Amino acid sequence: MKHKSISNKDRLIFAMDVADCDSAKSLMNELGDSVIFYKIGLELMMSGEYFELLDWMIARDKKIFCDLKFFDIPATVGSAVCQLKNRGASFVTVHGNRSMMEAAAENKGDTLKVLGVTVLTSLDRGDLDDLGFDCDIESLVLSRARQALDVGCDGVISSGLEVPKLREYVNNKLLVISPGIRPIDNKPMGDQKRVVTVETAFSNGADYIVVGRPIRDAASPRAAAEALQVSIESQMSS
């Protein structure tokens, strides 16, 4: 599979899932140049220091994925994206229906990319039953991805398990960002149920991977990130 022209070092997105701005800054300094792209989400948003951290990281030449999963009436989603579009972030997520994704895409400006969430990697077939979906996970992922493409989103969030079907039945133009990455094997960890390895994610056609706990909780986060970068480089050159 031909991969998009993206710097290999940017393909690793570290999920900065910590409680406060000081912890995030300390961890970023520890990681140094081993990580360029960071995901900051709801935990840091609720710390009250989200935009301080966003500005601080961008000033240090980091790329930022605002994983806020906007879900509200379309006008509110559109306004929220409009507020974010000039803050320097690279990605933002929308976790809603067609009209919400469309409103986000219409307000994203020239540099911010909107990503539609397909199915969270913490969900399995039983969870979809609980939510009232009568289709299988793969069908739901494909449906949401087609809608995202149709309304002007730049990409989707999808488990690496569904990426081959996305590439086959949707469109290779979409960016695909795959969370739930486990460097060693395909065993679930914590609340993640649909997981893949680094190698599987990229061989299946993902453009970026999101990795959190395997880096954050390692004895040496920097060494863990560097090892992942080596794996990515090897996969992209094979």
Q: pLDDT tens across 123-178, in order? A: 555 655 565 565 677 778 898 999 999 999 999 999 888 899 999 988 888 999 99
User: Number of structural domains, the chain?
Assistant: 1
Report the catalytic residues.
69
3 is a domain residue? no
The whole-number pLDDT of residue 180 equals 82
Q: Categorize the per-residue pLDDT at 182 as very low, low, confident or very high, splitting at 50, 70 and 90.
A: confident
- The domain that contains 16 carries what CATH number? 3.20.20.70
- With H, G, I as helix, E, B as strand and everything else as coil, classify residue 81: helix
237 is a domain residue? no
2 is a domain residue? no
154 C-beta neighbours (distance < 10 Å), count: 19
Q: What does the pLDDT average to over 86-111?
A: 97
CA distance 204 to 11: 14
The whole-number pLDDT of residue 129 equals 54
Residues 6 or more apart whose CB falls under 8 angstroms from that of 39 comprise: 13, 14, 15, 16, 64, 65, 67, 210, 212
143 is a domain residue? yes
**Model pTM?**
0.90
Question: What is the extent of the structural domain holding 25?
Answer: 8-232
Q: What does the pLDDT average to over 38-45?
A: 96
Burial of 108 (0-12, 13-18, 19+ CB in 10 A): buried
**Token digits of residue 18:** 């910590």
17 is a domain residue? yes
